């Protein structure tokens, strides 16, 4: 997915989740974030994230892909799982169905384009440019399919879906399906089946 100019991600909180996933080996993440201009490493080795709340999405994505390459899919999945752990959820989200019905809105609320949030809560208008999380329920089953059509690493998305599912169902399972369209294989999207 080609990025449009002017895209930003709510980065300060996002980097905290990545750093938390690297508790045992944080220097890898520190080095990569600093390389991409998302913070600095002080003389004593302490990493200080860029204090701005909004970071250029291009830099953040480049850092995530480099981290993913450095640590592999398992650690990248762990990073993704951390993202929803502390996410504030509106009171309307009370179960798996309501959480995943709203995941695309939450995704757009954490991104800006030309300084404006990509979802307007007052009007319900969504700004295009970063892709989507498509929600497909399976009536009568404890199963949801989510298609992730966005520029993030596949394993980050899988981790995010696991993290959200586990907030509501401790035995939820997330399986990558339709791997022939996977972004790892230069596809446009990844599909995941969530069961509980």
**Phi/psi at 12 (nearest 5 deg)?**
-60, -45
Q: Any idea where the domains of the chain sit in the sequence?
A: 7-82, 96-195
pLDDT, averaged across the chain: 90
* Structural contact between residues 124 and 170, judged by C-beta atoms closer than 8 angstroms: no
State the average pLDDT over residues 42-48. 87
Taking the alpha carbons of 32, 70, 77, 21 in that order, is the dihedral positive or negative?
negative
Q: What is the pLDDT of residues 90-130, one digit of tens each?
A: 778 889 999 999 999 989 998 999 999 999 999 999 999 99
- In the DSSP assignment, the letter for residue 38 is S
* Structural contact between residues 92 and 98, judged by C-beta atoms closer than 8 angstroms: yes
Q: What is the pLDDT of residues 122-170, one digit of tens each?
A: 999 999 999 999 999 999 999 999 999 999 999 999 999 999 999 999 9
More confident call, 175 vs 19? 175
Largest CA distance in the chain: 58
Supply the pLDDT for residue 84: 82
- In the DSSP assignment, the letter for residue 84 is T
The structure's pTM equals: 0.90
């Amino acid at each position: 997915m080609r990025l449009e100019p002017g895209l930003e991600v709510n980065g300060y909180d996002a980097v905290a989740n990545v750093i938390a996933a690297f508790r045992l080996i944080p220097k890898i993440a520190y080095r990569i974030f600093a390389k991409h201009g998302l913070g600095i490493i002080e003389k004593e080795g302490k990493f200080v994230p860029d204090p701005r709340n909004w970071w250029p999405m291009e830099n953040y994505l480049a850092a995530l892909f480099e981290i993913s390459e450095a640590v592999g899919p398992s650690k990248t999945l762990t990073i993704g799982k951390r993202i929803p752990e502390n996410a504030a959820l509106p009171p309307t989200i009370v179960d798996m169905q309501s959480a995943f019905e709203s995941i695309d809105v939450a995704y757009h609320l954490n991104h800006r384009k030309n300084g404006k949030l990509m979802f307007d809560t007052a009007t319900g208008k969504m700004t295009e440019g970063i892709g989507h999380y498509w929600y497909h329920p399976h009536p009568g089953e404890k199963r949801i399919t989510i298609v992730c059509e966005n520029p993030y690493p596949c394993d980050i998305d899988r981790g995010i879906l696991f993290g959200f599912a586990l907030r509501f169902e401790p035995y939820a399972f997330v399986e990558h399906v339709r791997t022939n369209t996977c972004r790892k294989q230069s596809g446009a999207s990844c599909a995941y089946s969530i069961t509980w």
